[in-house]
Chain A
Amino acid sequence: MSRTLSISIFRHNPRDPASAPRMETHELAEAPGMTLFIALNRLRESVAPDLSFDFVCRAGVCGSCAMVINGRPGLACRTLTAALPERISLHPLPGFALIADLSVDTGTWMRELAERLETWVHLAAEPDLDLLEAPLSPGLAEEIHELDRCIECGCCIAACGTAQMRPGFVGAVGLNKIARFRLDPADSRDDADHYELIGNDQGIFGCMSLMGCEDLCPKELPLQAQLAWLRRGMARQGLRGIFDKKDKK
């Protein structure tokens, strides 16, 4: 049986002084296999030509299209309307600057995070490209890949109470990246360096372990386990730091 969807969309253009935030509701005939990507494009083609939203891969891999779907952050492109009730509400992802309507600026946020946490392998020396690569245990390579799968979609930030209250908080996305480089034998940083980056309220000690992030991560990253592991490591490093300072005194 085909349904008529009633889709309520947050509309606002922050650059337009005449624009006020509002919800706009449109009806749409549901089609088989319809995703929110298809639905939103149909609305743009018909009744809402100026509707802003972001899709790139439309396959759930690029992290562009996160939005709040009936109250839950998620990837719109891979959300089938069939999995939703007839009434659908869509809001932009909180925690990021609004561009317009459902489009938010996650890119600038993630770039700043990368600069702050230096999310690249810190090499002891540049590799000689003519030689065999350094061996890596197959299991460890898979473990690193597991954490490397984050698509910077921002769902964990939208879902995180701390991140919403404390704008500088690096969130699960940032903490997971530190966990990833901590695992990587090619990265020359040690826990003292990691502590400098996240051993504070903006980092691991700001996290209240409520796990909104893990529940909503579309890549199902093992955030809970990683955050716990980091917290233990950083607590240890914190103590070490205190003793080191005493020693120096």
Chain B
Amino acid sequence: MGAKVITITSGKGGVGKTTTTANLGVALARLGKKTVVIDADIGLRNLDVVMGLENRIVYDLVDVVEGRCRLRQAMIKHKQFPDLYLIPAAQTRDKTSVSPADMIHITDKLRSDFDFIIIDSPAGIERGFRNAVAPADEVLIVTNPEVSAVRDADRIVGLLEAEHKNPGKLILNRLKPAMVKKGEMLSADDVVDILALEIIGIVPEDDHVIPASNSGIPVTLNENSHAGVAFRNIARRLTGEDVALMDLETNSGFFQRLAKFFGGR
């Protein structure tokens, strides 16, 4: 029945939800999927700048909810990827201007015309989180290999249960393989073991990410970026393709890893 609605959430703030949403949107559009990304972080609009679309906003999500415009009027079409649209958040309002029922209503109107609807959730576990998660067919929980982020991710798992949602899938962002190797950072295995969730992607810490958001060109368009490749792999997995997890998802080169793998410890 048309689009799959995927919500990107985390509990803890600043772990990479907006970065993930922007990159998955672009990567899916590049795979030829008709995609809308929705910024549900009302009052702290950000997805627009990360995607380089901030100058084109006329109407926003709250305008749609309050009937000041039609849904189509609030959808900004990406110039480079005509299959990609953004619905921006309102900047001058708060989370209570939108209800979970509004989000379900809006996504239901979009489902028949799109393949993917990706929702960028605000941090926290309050109203904004519930708005973002209400219409989700699938929830992706972004976390970092760090105690507070993992703990908050576990809270989200519990809340999804309470909302009778499918268990989320995990995106581990900002992993530093060199630190993992030294035993100074939780590994992907550790985090999967602790949270008991399926993992759908490992995104390394990558110096290309900040320049990408500086210029409003998502990092997945940078062919030299490991994080970019990782986001592309997640997008492919979302389309049902079977992409092995470790390929290119760490900082170390493939041959380096091979050498380690065969050359013993």
Query: Do A and B make up one complex?
Result: no
